[in-house]
Structures are given as C-alpha cells and as structure tokens.
Amino acid sequence: MPTFLSIFEYDGSPYRGWQSQPGLKTVQGEIEAALKTLTNHNIIVQACGRTDAGVHALAMPASFEADNIDANRLREGLNGILARQLISCIDVYEMPSGFNARFDCKGRAYEYRILARRAHPALGRGYVHSVRVPLDVDAMNFAAQYLVGRHDFTTFRSSDCQADSPVKTLDVFRVSRRGEEIVIEAKARSFLHHQVRLMVGSLVQVGKGHWEPVDLKHALEAVDPVASGPMIASDGLYFVRGIYSELPEPGPYLRS
C-alpha cells in the first residue's frame, strides 16, 4: 500500500491539540475523518510532532498509507473536505514504503511570537502573545544561549511529560525582532512536553528585567521545575517545520 507524506497548516485555536482524543475536537481527528470520507477507509495519521491546544502549525508533516489514490487527488480531496476547518493540506508526496513522519524526522523547529507594546493586538489576537511592557531583546537573546547544547532540561519539563529522559540537545535558541514582533526560534531533534513554552516564559522574565541573563543558566542547572519561570500561553507558539535527511523535492516546508 502506498505511503504518503502530507504537509498541514492549521490554526490551533479551536482544537484541543493535535492528538486524537475521544469526544474532543482535535487536528488529527479532523484529518482522519476527512480521509475516511475521501477513501472510505479508517486511516491512522502519524505526525512529526504533537502540538498542544491552541498551538498553530505552519507546516506539520504527517504520514499515512492509502490505496487506490494518488498524491494530487489526496491533496485536492482533503482540502475540499477540510474547507470549513482551520486546516489546510499544503502538499502531498508519495514516499518509500516504511517512511514514518515521526520516526524519520531529524529535527523540529518552533517559533514563539510576542507583541511587546502597550496596545493589545486588535488583529493578531490568538496568533501572537501580548506583553504590554517593553522587553530587552538583546538580554533575552544573550540569556537564550545558555540553553543551547546538550543539557538535562528537567527545569523546563512538564510534570506529565512521558519522555524517557530529560536530556535533550537544543541546536538553536535565539531571539530577534521581526517588525513589531519579537520572535523566539527553537530547533532540536525533539523537545520535552511544554519545554518551549517554559523556556520562553523564563526568557520573558529576563526581558522584563525581573531576571538577569545568568539567572536562566542557574535555572537550568537547578534541574528543578520550581526554578523555571511561568509557562507562557500557547497562543504565540507555532510548529514551523520538520527536518528530514532524504525527501524527493520537498519544497520549502521541510528544509533545515
């Protein structure tokens, strides 16, 4: 049976996260329901990552098997069925047998968007996190570098995280301005549950002047969740892309 890789864009606001949950509206549930309508078969979709409630995705890779249909019909059919959802199928690729969007992924990139100004966002509400005081971007970026590399990230791990180990390698963690927004980029092979939101929440403490940059280093070294700053809301978080070593002409969505 052919294996396909689909790239999904979605607004996470109305969904209880990616993963299917009985009785709840989720991104995976809506996509699998659309595939059932399209193919008349129950198809399980394996995503590159699992986003929480309210988290958005610019290009979430997800793989599945389907018979008697080609990539073009899948893309057009899914978009037709999902037209009333806040989910779009950007593209579909036929992949070698055995490909898995989760286990074959070599890296995952997220970004968090903050609007730091006195006025609340009238147009971007739900898509950017509002902080109504100035933030010191240079101090935040300096502090962020303490977390880059291989560390025990217990401090930035949720209590219900199911990962076997808190040790992760953070490849990129940087803070910059993009117009009026402050953007925090994070890239790693994988992340702990809520790791990005807890790290960003701690960076905001630095940006507000409540922490010195070195306090982020001390929080990391404490290996204690109590040492973390407050977890920031999900509204400004985006899954940006998955990174794969071998893909047939994957377009811009899966490049490092």
Q: Are 234 and 197 contacting, i.e. CB atoms less than 8 angstroms apart?
A: yes
Residue 22, C-beta contacts closer than 8 angstroms, at least 6 positions apart: none
Query: How many CA atoms does the CB half-sphere of 152 hold within 13 Å?
Result: 8
Q: Are 48 and 108 contacting, i.e. CB atoms less than 8 angstroms apart?
A: yes
CB count in 10 Å sphere of residue 179: 7
CA distance 75 to 89: 6
Q: Are 75 and 10 contacting, i.e. CB atoms less than 8 angstroms apart?
A: no
Q: What are phi and psi of 17, to 5 degrees?
A: 95, 180
Residues for the chain: how many in total? 256
CA dihedral for 211, 214, 217, 219, sign (positive or negative):
negative
Residue 49, C-beta contacts closer than 8 angstroms, at least 6 positions apart: 18, 60, 102, 105, 108, 191, 239, 242
Q: Are 211 and 81 contacting, i.e. CB atoms less than 8 angstroms apart?
A: no
Q: Are 236 and 125 contacting, i.e. CB atoms less than 8 angstroms apart?
A: no
Residues that are catalytic:
52
